[in-house]
């Protein structure tokens, strides 16, 4: 496998191995099993690739797995017309080229047998053991769920849990998706697009998180070709036109080779072509492409120290581009990636990007967790290893995966889980901050002290009042940087709760879910009686509230059941009216209210969970309904304000507007805030013919590429 530019649909080429003809393999496979003393011809390519990484591997179990898979799938055909056995063979070959260990390859050969044949899990367990059985079962469970829009949240929840239990399940699933994407051309265009979108939104980010760059880059190119065919063809033409005998990268590579040889550094200098999506990104960033933009130099050495020696020579003998320097050896990425990145100016002013890494780093950079072999196996001869204090030191449960597994248990609502999953996977960089007790916290880039508090203390962070960052007092909204030392300050008052503003600063799902959960449990912002939980500390914050005051609600009504300026009528003649921020009621939602401290009435939608909670503690409901303002028809439809959170991209506004129009909604007003950290917030006040269309409208807006969340506004929007 490689991350080089590849034609989607065509198997990758390697210098030392001829192109694999899957149709020929299928014909060979139909001949049936062969004698026990040798492997079948159809799997010999897998054996060759496997032995290249694991010279001492016992291939007997692979032969038995192939014989069972071939006999079980015999007579089955793929939609492309190939014998079905070509699919598990191709998936297994992908993993073998990445360096997967024998157990993973065995499970890969069998990954469709339990789903598509009469083979049972008990038979797999009896023939191949518990470990192979578990991997086959994990992949089978993922295959059983349809990838339709309604099924996606549960599909990926199961995928997440399976990955958390054994990362090899996801390795097999990614290789399975890669081969299916290579052969997707036999399906209808609309199905190709649907599968490509799911691959783009979740599977490619998961491949990035697991560090399997070889799979990720080819999947990116295949998705690019399906979803953006015109841009793909432009990029293909640019790459084809750039091929020339006078490649400026070759000239620079020769100079680098001579420089390192003269310095006595043993190194291999290669030209690493960019894949299609990488070229497309560079073109969008720079406009006109330079001759050296179609690839990068890759320098491979033996030891970590040699990487820095190479860097020193390059920066001494060439003019470095300092802004391009990054050290991912001293500070590895969250997906195990290590490398030095730099750029140098070669002869005639050509600028070349250079990657410097050891051979071991290169293997991990390409194959990620697959290159770890069996990360769960323990060498009995090795001394016992202490538990790692850094969550990223454990390759079987990296920090990002631990956090996803933690919050997915709390996100019981499928829509919340799905939007939060896509949001979290979109974070392409992680930082490490240090605790004062010597431990570390792995957080997404842009995380604040609020995120650090919930990562360290869980629900105990509800009482946070501030922080010290690098020894200096800081607010909870302070954004943390990689390498910061943070000390969270908690109030002594256990009755304290979070502020609604914290949601504006929380980037991690765990923090957002915990804060939202607290307000669901405390709909009126009330705290337990101090006498039951201890006295309030002098430094505790004033109590927060999840409610918003309706415009004009400070003035009590003058007549019973009179309409408030908010458009809500309540049965208490003198009460102030507040619309609950937890459910943001809008016409024509059915309403109910509750008297809270100070005599105000908080109005909720009737289906709001807070209503049930209030009734369970004995609060008496107050009647409430919408008033009809003068000059407005009662059947004028439903007006609602929605906030769309998205990543910035071209045509985003046009696509969102089209989705709104398709859902039969009229735009009353729209506001687009200036981008912040490549994120854009759109606020729309919309009118729908019927409130029943609101869920469908929100789903349609979420399905727009780049949109990661759509929610009701927490504050009323202007009506103009």
Q: Does the predicted model carry a pTM greater than 0.85?
A: no
Whole-number pLDDT of residue 538: 30
**Alpha-carbon distance values, 619 to 573, 592, 594, 610, 613 (Å):** 19, 12, 7, 11, 9
SS3 628: coil
Rounded Cα distance between 693 and 696, Å, is: 5
pLDDT digits 0-9 by tens, 277-291 = 999 888 888 778 888
Whole-number pLDDT of residue 419: 61
Rounded Cα distance between 309 and 503, Å, is: 46
- What values do phi and psi take at 267, rounded to 5? -150, 155
Percent of the chain having pLDDT more than 70?
A: 72
Q: Place 39 in a pLDDT band, splitting at 50, 70 and 90.
A: very low
pLDDT at 92 over 50: yes
SS3 432: strand
Whole-number pLDDT of residue 583: 66
Mean pLDDT, residues 35-43 taken together: 56
pLDDT at 603 over 60: yes
Rounded Cα distance between 350 and 294, Å, is: 12
pLDDT digits 0-9 by tens, 397-447 = 455 566 555 655 555 565 566 566 666 665 556 777 888 887 778 788 889
Mean pLDDT, residues 198-220 taken together: 86
Mean pLDDT, residues 531-557 taken together: 32
Rg (CA), the chain: 29
SS3 286: helix
pLDDT digits 0-9 by tens, 155-192 = 566 666 656 567 788 889 899 999 989 888 888 899 89
Q: Is 247 a catalytic residue?
A: no
User: Highest-confidence range of 47-61, 574-588, 697-711, by mean pLDDT?
Assistant: 47-61
Residue 430: other Cβ atoms inside 10 A = 20
Residue 604: other Cβ atoms inside 10 A = 29
pLDDT at 239 over 70: yes
Residue 252: both structure tokens together: 């620079």
Q: Do 435 and 426 touch, CB atoms closer than 8 A?
A: no
Whole-number pLDDT of residue 10: 42
Whole-number pLDDT of residue 634: 40
- DSSP characters over 525-588: -----HHHH-PPPTTPPPPP-SEEEPTTTTSPPSSTTPBPTTSEEES-TT--EEEETTT---TT
Rounded Cα distance between 460 and 480, Å, is: 20
Q: Do 605 and 583 touch, CB atoms closer than 8 A?
A: yes
Least-confidence region, from 311-315, 357-361, 624-628: 624-628
pLDDT at 123 over 50: yes
Q: Which of 357, 337, 448 is nearest to 398 (CA)?
A: 337
**How is residue 17 annotated by DSSP?**
B
Percent of the chain having pLDDT more than 90?
A: 21
pLDDT at 380 over 60: no
Rounded Cα distance between 164 and 168, Å, is: 10
Least-confidence region, from 256-260, 310-314, 532-536, 694-698: 532-536
SS3 676: strand
pLDDT at 218 over 80: yes
Q: Given 4, 48, 115, 304, which residue is catalytic?
A: 115
Q: Is 115 a catalytic residue?
A: yes
Whole-number pLDDT of residue 17: 39
- End-to-end Cα separation, the chain, in angstroms: 57
Work out whether the CA dihedral 515, 521, 524, 529 comes out positive or negative.
negative
Rounded Cα distance between 294 and 280, Å, is: 10
Q: Given 48, 116, 231, 394, which residue is catalytic?
A: 116
Least-confidence region, from 7-16, 40-49, 246-255: 7-16
């Amino acid at each position: 496998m490689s991350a080089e530019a590849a034609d989607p649909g065509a198997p990758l080429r390697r210098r030392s191995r001829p192109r694999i003809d899957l149709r020929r393999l299928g014909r060979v496979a139909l001949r049936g099993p062969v004698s026990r003393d040798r492997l079948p011809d159809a799997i010999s390519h897998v054996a060759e690739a496997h032995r290249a990484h694991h010279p001492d591997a016992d291939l007997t179990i692979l032969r038995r797995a192939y014989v069972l898979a071939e006999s079980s799938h015999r007579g089955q055909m793929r939609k492309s017309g190939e014998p079905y056995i070509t699919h598990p063979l191709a998936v297994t070959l992908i993993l073998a080229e990445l360096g997967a260990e024998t157990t993973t390859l065995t499970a890969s050969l069998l990954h469709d047998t339990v789903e598509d044949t009469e083979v049972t899990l008990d038979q797999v367990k009896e023939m191949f053991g518990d470990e192979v059985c578990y991997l086959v079962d994990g992949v089978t469970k993922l295959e059983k769920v349809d990838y339709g829009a309604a099924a996606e949240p549960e599909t990926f929840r199961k995928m997440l849990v399976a990955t958390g239990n054994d990362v090899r399940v996801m390795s097999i699933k990614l290789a399975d998706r890669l081969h299916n994407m290579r052969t997707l051309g036999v399906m209808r265009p609309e199905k190709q697009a649907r599968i490509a979108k799911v691959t783009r939104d979740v599977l490619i980010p998961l491949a990035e998180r697991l560090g399997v760059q070889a799979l990720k880059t080819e999947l990116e190119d295949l998705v690019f070709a399906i979803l953006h065919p015109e841009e793909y063809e432009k990029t293909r033409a640019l790459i084809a036109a750039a091929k020339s005998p006078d490649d400026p990268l070759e000239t620079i590579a020769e100079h680098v080779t001579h420089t390192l040889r003269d310095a006595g550094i043993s190194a291999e200098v290669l030209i690493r072509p960019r894949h299609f999506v990488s070229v497309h990104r560079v073109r969008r960033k720079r406009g006109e492409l330079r001759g050296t933009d179609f690839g990068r130099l890759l320098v491979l050495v033996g030891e970590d120290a040699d990487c820095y020696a190479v860097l020193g020579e390059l920066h001494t003998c060439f003019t470095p581009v300092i802004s391009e320097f990054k050290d991912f050896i001293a500070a590895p990425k969250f997906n195990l990636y290590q490398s030095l990145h730099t750029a140098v100016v070669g002869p005639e002013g050509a600028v070349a990007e250079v990657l410097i890494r050891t051979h071991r780093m290169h293997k991990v950079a390409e194959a990620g967790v697959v290159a770890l072999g069996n990360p769960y196996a323990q060498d009995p001869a090795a001394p016992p290893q202490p538990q790692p204090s850094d969550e990223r030191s454990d390759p079987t449960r990296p920090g990002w995966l631990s956090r996803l597994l933690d919050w997915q248990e709390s996100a019981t609502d499928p829509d919340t889980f799905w939007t939060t999953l896509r949001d979290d996977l979109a974070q392409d960089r992680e930082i490490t901050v240090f605790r004062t007790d010597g431990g570390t916290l792995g957080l997404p880039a842009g995380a604040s002290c609020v995120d650090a508090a919930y990562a360290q203390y869980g629900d105990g962070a509800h009482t946070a009042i501030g922080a010290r960052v690098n020894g200096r007092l800081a607010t909870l909204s302070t954004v943390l940087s990689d390498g910061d030392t943070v000390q969270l300050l908690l109030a002594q008052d256990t009755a304290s709760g979070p502020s609604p503003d914290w949601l504006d600063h929380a980037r991690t799902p765990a923090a957002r879910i915990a804060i939202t959960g607290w307000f669901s449990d405390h709909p009126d912002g009330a705290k337990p009686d101090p006498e039951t939980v201890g006295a309030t500390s002098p430094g505790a914050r004033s109590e927060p509230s999840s409610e918003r005051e309706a415009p004009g609600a400070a003035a009590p009504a003058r007549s019973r059941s009179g309409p408030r300026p908010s458009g809500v009528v309540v049965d208490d003649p003198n009460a102030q009216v507040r619309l609950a921020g937890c459910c943001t009621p809008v016409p024509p939602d059915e309403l109910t209210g509750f008297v809270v401290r100070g005599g105000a009435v908080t109005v909720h939608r009737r289906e709001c969970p807070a209503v049930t909670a209030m009734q369970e503690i004995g609060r008496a409901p107050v009647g409430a309904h919408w008033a009809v303002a003068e000059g407005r028809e009662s059947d004028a439809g439903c007006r609602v304000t929605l906030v769309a959170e998205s990543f910035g991209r071209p045509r985003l506004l046009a696509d969102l507007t089209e989705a709104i129009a398709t859902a039969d909604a009229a735009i009353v007003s729209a506001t687009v805030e200036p981008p912040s950290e490549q994120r854009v917030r759109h606020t729309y006040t919309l009118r729908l013919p019927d409130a029943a269309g609101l869920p469908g409208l929100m789903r349609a807006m979420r399905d727009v590429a780049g949109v990661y969340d759509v929610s009701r506004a927490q504050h009323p929007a202007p009506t103009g």
